[in-house]
């Protein structure tokens, strides 16, 4: 069945052709040229229309295309499902692998810490023993303190003895002086005795000078001995304080290792 | 060799400690005079002085304390050492001297420890005052005298001798915050 529009177009074309022939027949040239142009246009339109596919074919092509699209969609969904499943599997495998690696690393670290702890524990004991032994240095300083006190006491004794010696020498000087006076009174007879008395007095004066110098040296000795001992004692206390700090730090490190 | 800053810091620490510990309460008035004169004051009768040592690795400080042996000083020391009301007999007086010296030097030692980390304190020893004439044989690099008068009638004198190694450079400063610390010194344990 031919569609009504096409019949109408066909009739129009026929009418146009007939009109054109009529005008050409009557010698109307410009009109004939225009009609020729219209005819050419109409022929072009007919050619275009003749290439158009009928509706059924278009519908069939559409249906085929739709079917192809549906098929492709299903294929895509299937592929997406497959990819999703593959991703999920890869994720699971990756998680398992990570867990396994982490577990291995953890075990390795635990092993290393254990070894380190064993190593440090082995060193900790002798270290603490050494620190404790060094703390006993205070006892040594105490001993030195007692000895130092003995030295100071002994120096006091020497000073007392020196004072006694000094007192004796003073008496000898006085005696020598008296002897010299008595010798002078005796006149010529006492001249020899006067020489002896002067000699004794000179010796006593020298002894007195020595005694004074000796006393000064004893005082210097007291100062040097005392301050030297105090330096040792104070340094000992400084070392003991350092050891206290060292012990506290070692204990802290050990406690932290135990807590790991 | 000890730097000027370090020497000044030690002087400040002693002055601060003396100022804090030589009074028995806020009612006491303390006047401290500084002097770098190494010439000792006019010779008095033979008496005892107290010597103490603070040591670190490269230096030591020898401190010599002299006390006026009079009733006022004795009473003041009794008050400081919480022996108030007691008349100090000879041994009690010597013990009070030792405690006082420990109090002053213990505070300095602790404060020094904050700056130089390691230092130690000796016990006090008594020497005859004539020994003080020979301090130069210790070859101190710096000598400083602090003279404290409390309530115009109690008198203490400190001679601080710093003996530092020549071949080691010693430099430190005292934290100014330390200067306002008001806690009283504690007895050092030996």
Task: For tokens 């107290």, name the residue.
Answer: B50
Does residue B7 register a pLDDT over 80?
Answer: yes
Enter the tokens of residue A22. 């009529």
The ipTM (two decimal places) reads: 0.87
Q: Which of B48, B51, B53 is the best substitution to test chain A (most A C-beta atoms within 10 A)?
A: B53
- pLDDT for A17 equals 66
Q: What is the CA radius of gyration of chain B?
A: 16
B30 interfacial to chain A (CB closer than 8 Å): no
Of A169-183, B4-18, B172-186, give the lowest mean pLDDT range: B172-186
- pLDDT for B169 equals 87
Of B52, B119, B134, the CB nearest to A230: B52
Name the minimum distance, in Å, from the CA of B132 to any CA of chain A: 8
- pLDDT for A227 equals 95
- pLDDT for B74 equals 87
pLDDT one-digit tens code per residue, A170-196: 999 899 889 989 989 988 888 888 898
Q: Which of B46, B98, B123 is the best substitution to test chain A (most A C-beta atoms within 10 A)?
A: B123
pLDDT one-digit tens code per residue, A50-89: 666 667 888 888 899 999 999 999 999 999 999 999 999 9
Average pLDDT for chain A: 85
- pLDDT for A74 equals 93
Which has the higher per-residue pLDDT, B24 or B116? Answer: B24
Task: For tokens 């135990």, name the residue.
Answer: A258
Global pTM value: 0.69
Q: Is A234 close to B131, i.e. CB distance below 8 A? A: no
Do the Cβ atoms of B136 and B44 come closer than 8 Å?
A: no
Q: Is A226 close to B134, i.e. CB distance below 8 A? A: no
Average pLDDT over residues B182-188: 39
Does residue B178 register a pLDDT over 60?
Answer: no
Of B118, B125, B128, the CB nearest to A238: B118
Does residue A209 register a pLDDT over 90?
Answer: yes
Which sign, positive or negative, has the C-alpha torsion A37, A38, A43, A44? Answer: positive
Of A219, A235, A239, the CB nearest to B131: A219
A180 C-beta neighbours (distance < 10 Å), count? 19
Which sign, positive or negative, has the C-alpha torsion B134, B135, B140, B143? Answer: negative
B38 interfacial to chain A (CB closer than 8 Å): no
Average pLDDT over residues A87-97: 94
Of A21-25, A163-167, B14-18, give the lowest mean pLDDT range: A21-25
- pLDDT for A5 equals 59
- pLDDT for B91 equals 83
- Label residue A179 left, alpha or beta by phi (over 0 means left) and psi (-120 to 50 means alpha): alpha
Q: Is B128 close to A231, i.e. CB distance below 8 A? A: no
Cα separation, A88 vs A94, whole angstroms? 10
- Which run of H or of E encompasses B154? strand B154-164
Q: Is B120 close to A227, i.e. CB distance below 8 A? A: no
Average pLDDT for chain B: 84
Confidence of residue B186 (pLDDT cuts 50, 70, 90): very low
Q: What is the 3-state secondary structure (H, E, C) of chain A?
A: CCCHHHHHHHHHHHHHHHHHHHHHHCCCHHHHHHHHHHHHHHHHHHHHHHHCCCHHHHHHHHHHHHHHHHHHHHHHHHHHHHHHHHHHHHHHHHHHHHHHHHHHHHHHHHHHHHHHHHHHHHHHHHHHHHHHHHHCHHHHHHHHHHHHHHHHHHHHHHHHHHHHHHHHHHHHHHHHHHHHHHHHHCHHHHHHHHHHHHHHHHHHHHHHHHHHHHHHHHHHHHHHHHHHHHHHHHHHHHHHHHHHHHHHHHHHHHHHHHHC
**Three-state DSSP class for residue B188:** coil
Name the minimum distance, in Å, from the CA of B116 to any CA of chain A: 12
For chain A, what percent of residues have pLDDT higher than 90? 38
Q: Which of A24-28, A79-83, A190-194, A238-242 has the highest mean pLDDT?
A: A79-83
Name the minimum distance, in Å, from the CA of A230 to any CA of chain B: 5
Q: Is B62 close to A227, i.e. CB distance below 8 A? A: yes
Which has the higher per-residue pLDDT, B59 or B88? Answer: B59
Q: Which of B43, B54, B55 is the best substitution to test chain A (most A C-beta atoms within 10 A)?
A: B55
Average pLDDT over residues B66-76: 88
Which has the higher per-residue pLDDT, B24 or A213? Answer: A213
Confidence of residue A116 (pLDDT cuts 50, 70, 90): confident
Does residue A158 register a pLDDT over 70?
Answer: yes
Q: How far apart are the first and last CA of chain A?
A: 96
- CB-based contacts of B159: which residues, under 8 Å, 6+ apart? B40, B63, B64, B66, B132, B135, B143, B144, B145
Does residue A92 register a pLDDT over 50?
Answer: yes
pLDDT one-digit tens code per residue, B76-130: 888 888 776 566 677 888 899 999 999 999 999 999 988 777 899 999 999 999 9
Average pLDDT over residues B63-69: 92
Of B53, B56, B113, the CB nearest to A227: B53
B131 interfacial to chain A (CB closer than 8 Å): yes
Q: Is B190 close to A241, i.e. CB distance below 8 A? A: no
Do the Cβ atoms of A237 and B119 come closer than 8 Å?
A: no
Confidence of residue B188 (pLDDT cuts 50, 70, 90): very low
Q: Which of A9-13, A123-127, B46-50, B78-82 has the highest mean pLDDT?
A: B46-50
- pLDDT for A26 equals 59
Cα separation, B16 vs B31, whole angstroms? 12
Q: Is A224 close to B133, i.e. CB distance below 8 A? A: no
- pLDDT for A122 equals 82
If you measure CA to CA, which chain A residue comes closest to B57?
Answer: A235
């Amino acid at each position: 069945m031919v569609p009504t529009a096409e019949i109408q177009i066909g009739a129009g074309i026929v009418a146009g052709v007939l009109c054109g022939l009529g005008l050409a027949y009557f010698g109307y040239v410009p009109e004939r040229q225009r009609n020729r142009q219209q005819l050419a246009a109409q022929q072009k339109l007919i050619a275009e229309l003749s290439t158009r596919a009928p509706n059924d074919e278009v519908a069939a092509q559409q249906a085929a295309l739709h079917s192809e699209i549906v098929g492709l969609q299903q294929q895509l969904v299937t592929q997406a499902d497959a990819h999703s499943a593959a991703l999920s599997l890869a994720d699971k495998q990756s998680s398992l692998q990570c867990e396994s690696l982490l577990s291995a690393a953890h075990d390795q670290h635990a092993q290393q810490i254990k070894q380190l702890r064993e190593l440090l524990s082995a060193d900790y004991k002798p270290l603490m023993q050494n620190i404790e032994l060094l703390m006993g240095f205070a006892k040594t300083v105490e001993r030195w303190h007692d000895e130092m006190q003995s030295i100071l006491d002994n120096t006091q004794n020497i000073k007392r003895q020196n004072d006694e010696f000094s007192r004796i020498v003073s008496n000898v000087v006085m005696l020598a002086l008296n002897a010299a006076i008595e010798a002078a009174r005796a006149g010529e007879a006492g001249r020899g005795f006067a020489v002896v008395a002067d000699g004794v007095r000179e010796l006593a004066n020298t002894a007195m000078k020595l005694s004074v110098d000796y006393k000064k040296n004893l005082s210097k000795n007291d100062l040097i001995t005392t301050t030297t001992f105090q330096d040792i004692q104070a340094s000992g206390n400084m070392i003991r304080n350092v050891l206290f700090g060292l012990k506290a730090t070692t204990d802290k490190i050990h406690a932290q290792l135990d807590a790991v | 060799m000890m730097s000027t800053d370090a020497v000044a810091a030690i002087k400040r620490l002693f002055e601060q400690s003396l100022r804090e510990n030589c009074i028995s309460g806020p009612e006491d008035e303390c006047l401290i005079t500084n002097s770098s004169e190494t010439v000792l004051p006019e010779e008095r009768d033979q008496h005892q002085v107290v010597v103490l040592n603070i040591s670190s690795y490269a230096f030591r400080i020898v401190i010599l304390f002299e006390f006026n042996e009079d009733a006022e000083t004795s009473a003041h020391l009794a008050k400081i050492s919480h022996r108030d009301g007691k008349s100090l007999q000879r041994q009690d007086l010597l013990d009070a001297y030792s405690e006082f010296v420990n109090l002053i030097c213990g505070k300095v030692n602790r404060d020094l420890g904050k700056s130089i980390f390691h230092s130690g304190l000796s016990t006090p020893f008594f020497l005859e005052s004539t020994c003080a004439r020979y301090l130069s044989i210790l070859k101190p690099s710096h000598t400083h005298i602090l003279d404290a008068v409390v309530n115009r009638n109690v008198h203490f004198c400190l001679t601080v001798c710093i003996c530092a190694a020549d071949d080691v450079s010693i430099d430190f400063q005292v934290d100014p915050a330390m200067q306002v610390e008001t806690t009283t010194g504690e007895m050092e344990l030996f």
